[in-house]
Amino acid sequence: MTGLPRKIIHCDCDCFYASIEMRDDPSLVGRPLAVGGRPETRGVVATCNYEARRYGVHSAMSSARALRLCPELLILPPSMDKYRAASAQIMEIYRDYTGLVEPLSLDEAYLDVSGTGRHNGSATLIAREIRSRVAQAVGITVSAGVAPNKFVAKIASDWNKPDGLFVVRPEQVDAFVAALPVGKLHGVGKVTGARLARLGVQTCGDLRGWTQAALRDEFGAFGDRLHDLCRGIDHREVSPNRERKSISVEQTFVTDLTSLEQCEASLEGFLQQLEARIRRSDAQDTINKLFVKLRFADFSRTTAEGMGTAPDAEQYRILLATAFRRNTRPVRLMGIGVRLGEAGQQLGLFDG
């Protein structure tokens, strides 16, 4: 394979949670639908179907705002067991074509099919067959992008959504990427995008006018990444054994918590949930840090971290007090979790 372009497929299920709900209840098809939390409990939209998106509803939006935009919107609570079962079916289909499958979430994955002999090595035909098999076996649609690297494949999978397939051949990468808005680059959010706009940069073609040294001076180490991505360069490999870095639980409260004592009262329930998730992930031997995350009424956030190899109530109380004292406003969201690393790895108290 040395010197030959890789063949990467990025598969992304279309509005996954909502698609599973519509599959199981056909009466939901054609009406605006979202999966997420209740508006009265400050819930957020996890995903929504395309009928809801026409009203401006999107994932991570508060359920209350979603209902204001679309009063007819039906919001269903998540059924995670059902979604995990569908995801397992889908990943099994992917692995029938290659061992190099890197799941990014329940509904999204990279596949490296460079070395497969299926369909005479045609990544396009493999992607087409995968999409057909998922539709038949699971009952939902998958959009796919085919390209020589992960960056371009991921953008391509979004090109013909929903239920689409888009191929960017090696000789097409340069022109395809040059025309992309810089907001499509991984790591370019609203702040960096606005900064680039002020510098007169709108497209990847514009960004190519900057030397690597100039980008590094302006954006630090991220400048090197910008230099490569705007040229369609991405050497990342598909990693089937991508390590999980943390496990956590969190909750947005119906009523803001105004005292440290109120926050501490939630710790016991949080700990039980966290310990259960750690056991399910079989991660007990890889914990090297504990952390507490708070979001305040003004939407500012803070995280306090400390050394630990297992969830510990007293340690979480110390971290909670540290985080709570950083802002005088009430707490709207609280979370606790663990960082994962190599078994037995130790870090100093409040490192990082």
Binding residues for Mg(2+): 12, 107
Calculate the CA 117 to chain-centre distance: 31
Of 21, 51, 102, 108, the active-site residue reads 108
102 is catalytic: no
Whether 258 contacts 266, CB under 8 Å: no
**3-state secondary structure string, 248-288?**
EEEEEEEEEECCHHHHHHCHHHHHHHHHHHHHHHCCHHHEE
> φ, ψ for residue 110 (rounded to 5)?
-100, 145
- Euclidean distance between CA atoms 178 and 170, whole angstroms: 14
Question: Residue 287 corresponds to which amino acid?
Answer: I
Report the binding-site residues. Answer: 12, 107
Cα gap 243→239, rounded to integer Å: 9
Which residues share a beta bridge with 62?
44
The Cα 263–Cα 166 span in angstroms is 49
> What is the set of active-site residues?
108
